[in-house]
Structure 1
Amino acid sequence: MTGGTGGRNVARKLIGSHLVSGEMTPGTEIGIQVDQTLTQEATGTMVMLELALDLDRVRTDVSVQYVDHNLLQADERNMADHIFLRSASRRYGLWFSRAGNGVSHPTHMQRFGVPAATMVGSDSHTCAAGSLGMLAVGVGGLEVAMAMAGEPLHITMPEIWGVRLTGELPPWLSAKDVILEMLRRHGVRGGVNRIIEYHGPGLASLTAMDRHVIANMGAELGATTTVFPSDDRVLEFLRAEGREDGFTELVADPDATYDVTDPRDLDTRRPAAGQVERDAGPRAVVGGRNYGQGSSRERAAIAPRHLGLRLVLARGYARIHWQNLVNFGILPSNSPTGPTTTGSIRAMCCASRTSGTP
């Protein structure tokens, strides 16, 4: 199905309303006017240094500098960065969110995100703002600095990948199971040069924060970004935050078409993360390929450790999660074919205990 015929989808409406150069033909270069920017201290320091030009104030509607990554105070360097970023924010007219205010992406969604706006950020998970009906793209620091100076973002026009959701998410599943299933099916390059747009009746069962989880992990699929419509669930969220005046309805036309289509029935979803092998006791988790991929970071290893987990058997691991498991005393064991029997799992558990694993 070709996105250039029929009605317009949400992604094309967002791009079309901000297009300053080029045509919306996949594979060609386009320029998009940027409404908002997001930076965090791990990458924002270079952005602020790149702003040391002949610029009086930022020329976006909203620009926010967050401090939420490098919080450890083992020496003076992180503290010095935070002080510099606060002074630079005052100089150039950015909002400054100090350490302790919250993680940048959900905090921005709560305080600054508005439907129908565009945003770039110096963080790969800037795409989480697509949960509100924004076109939000993670880019390099120089691109963010240029956007803050009023320049458009130049990208290759991506294909629009329409994922039509039907059914209702069962109570024993979470939104992360939806995106993990997408990763299982399409891998970490399945979204390259594509914008993923979720649509269909199944959206009614997903809250704005559910959508945030799904949009946030679109980066793991390699997608340019992820978008959701701005509908009643978004209005519900903004009303709860006291910002309903910022609501703009933005939905796909009834006859909207997509470059790529993909139907998904939420009623038939199963937990996508590893499953506990009960017969072996609450000490082992069985996983598949790329186990631990996502954005939970330390918490994904700390919580299982407190529940008594000592061993993970998987065909492959996300690199950062593998290191976090080791850091918190959990043995990540590679199994090319995956253990399939209770006996093999129990044997591995016994081996980990006798080898002195905590």
Structure 2
Amino acid sequence: MQNLTYKILEKHLLKGKLEAGQPIEIKMDQTLTQDATGTMAYMQFEAMGVKKVKTELSVSYVDHNTLQNGFMNADDHAYLQSVASKYGIYFSKAGNGICHQVHLERFAKPQKTLIGSDSHTPTSSAIGCIAIGAGGLDVAKAMAGIGYRLTCPKVVEVKLTGTLAHGVSSKDIILKLLELLSVKGGVGKVFEYTGEGVKNLSVYQRATITNMGAELGATTSIFPSDEVTHEFLKRQQREEDYIPLSADEGCHYDETVEIDLSKLVPLAACPNSPDAVKNVSELSGMKVDQVAIGSCTNSGYEDLMKAAAILKGKKIAHNVSLVVSPGSRQVLMKLIENGTLSTFVSCGARILECTCGPCIGMGQSPKSDAVSLRTF
């Protein structure tokens, strides 16, 4: 009997033994890079003298320095496009969307392994794959067909029961874990989500949780591939990629954390750490100067539709700056088609490009001593 994490690791094991704390090496099926880290990764890959990438799929995304504020960024992007063309790598131009959001929509598959040169690569684990963020050299090696070395992780079961109450989001689940375990509570561990509460969470909701598992310091986080996954892939016209995948009943976990979703309340992470969590009720009445909605954590279709439902028919306060960043061109197109984009624009929001933007400091710095409320 095996947990889901070890099932996938076993299928990809090249060296070592699946025992927590032991060194192992695993095969990587997919890679992703983004432009801030990818340039060096591809230079390292070129230096290896490999003629074509040896993965099933490798994607180069331009989603960070998309303002091209100076020729250096544009030169990098031209280099990335030429490398992709030469070595058999998919290239995602600036404006297509955030790497994690687009990869979830277009490429991530249950039971596969993915390594990316960005800490939030575990986003894709929302649909039952092992996705790990690592350094650029590790990604370059994976593209060259070399296994990824890591310490075999402990597996923590996060058992979810109940259903989220009105006004409570999946962000509150991961914030609760951060409150309980701290930003170092996940080091050397994989967080595997189980229980009846899982089936009540959409893939977008699951992606928010696996994305922010990085803030726990976790190796990765993972959800089973179930009917919710099937429906998501079907809507993405990728039904053929679906594989049902879950842990064996009664399998071993190193630790178990139980969360009753029905008891959660809206939470917020406060300065200066993701684990400085407070109930939103404690922050009631705080003057806010800036609101930013988006990033790889909360820029999916459902996220933005919820925000639009709250804003519909209203105007933002004259002293507040509101910016909205759709996570992908697909999400942006849906917002245009169903009229939701006009809701954002008419309420006074500014629409940013489908990129990381404020998350990495590419614009939207708040004024001095301001309070910035962000989904980032």
- Report the TM-score, using the length of structure 1 for normalisation: 0.79
Structure 2: distance between partners of 1:72 and 1:185: 38
Task: Answer whether contact 1:208 1:234 (CA < 8 A) is retained.
Answer: yes
Residue 203 of structure 1 deviates from its aligned partner by 0.4
Of 116, 129, 142, which aligns to 1:147?
Answer: 142
The number of residue pairs the alignment matches comes to 307
Structure-2 residue corresponding to 1:132 = 127
Of 12, 27, 47, which aligns to 1:18?
Answer: 12
Structure 1: distance between partners of 2:174 and 2:105: 22
Task: Answer whether contact 1:283 1:309 (CA < 8 A) is retained.
Answer: no
Change (3 A) 1:278 1:86: closer
Task: Answer whether contact 1:325 1:331 (CA < 8 A) is retained.
Answer: no
Structure-2 residue corresponding to 1:219 = 214
Q: Secondary structure at the match of 2:120?
A: helix
- The Cα offsets for residues 109-129 of structure 1, whole Å up to 9 and x where unpaired, read as 111111000010000000111
Residue 329 of structure 1 deviates from its aligned partner by 2.9
Residue 324 of structure 1 deviates from its aligned partner by 9.9
Residue 67 of structure 1 deviates from its aligned partner by 0.3
- Report the TM-score, using the length of structure 2 for normalisation: 0.76
The 5-angstrom pairing of residues 16-165 of structure 1 reads: 16-52=10-46, 53-165=48-160
Residue 325 of structure 1 deviates from its aligned partner by 12
Structure-2 residue corresponding to 1:328 = 366
Change (3 A) 1:259 1:277: closer
Residue 155 of structure 1 deviates from its aligned partner by 0.3
Structure 2: distance between partners of 1:257 and 1:307: 52
Task: Answer whether contact 1:20 1:32 (CA < 8 A) is retained.
Answer: yes
Residue 255 of structure 1 deviates from its aligned partner by 1.3
Of 271, 280, 288, which aligns to 1:275?
Answer: 280
The worse-fitting range, judged by mean Cα deviation, of 116-125 and 70-79 is 70-79
Could you tell me which runs of 5 or more consecutive residues in structure 2 were left unpaired when the two chains were aligned.
Answer: 269-278, 290-295, 300-307, 321-357, 372-376
Change (3 A) 1:16 1:308: farther
- The Cα offsets for residues 259-300 of structure 1, whole Å up to 9 and x where unpaired, read as 1111110000011116367985x6259xxxxxxxx9579xxx
Structure 2: distance between partners of 1:69 and 1:327: 16
Task: Answer whether contact 1:40 1:65 (CA < 8 A) is retained.
Answer: yes
Could you tell me which runs of 5 or more consecutive residues in structure 1 were left unpaired when the two chains were aligned.
Answer: 1-6, 286-293, 298-302, 311-319, 334-358
RMSD between superposed Cα atoms in Å: 3.0
Structure exhibiting the larger radius of gyration computed from Cα positions: 1
- The Cα offsets for residues 214-259 of structure 1, whole Å up to 9 and x where unpaired, read as 0000000000000110111100100000000011111111112201
Q: Secondary structure at the match of 1:124?
A: coil
Structure 1: distance between partners of 2:284 and 2:33: 47
Letter in 1 for 2:287: R
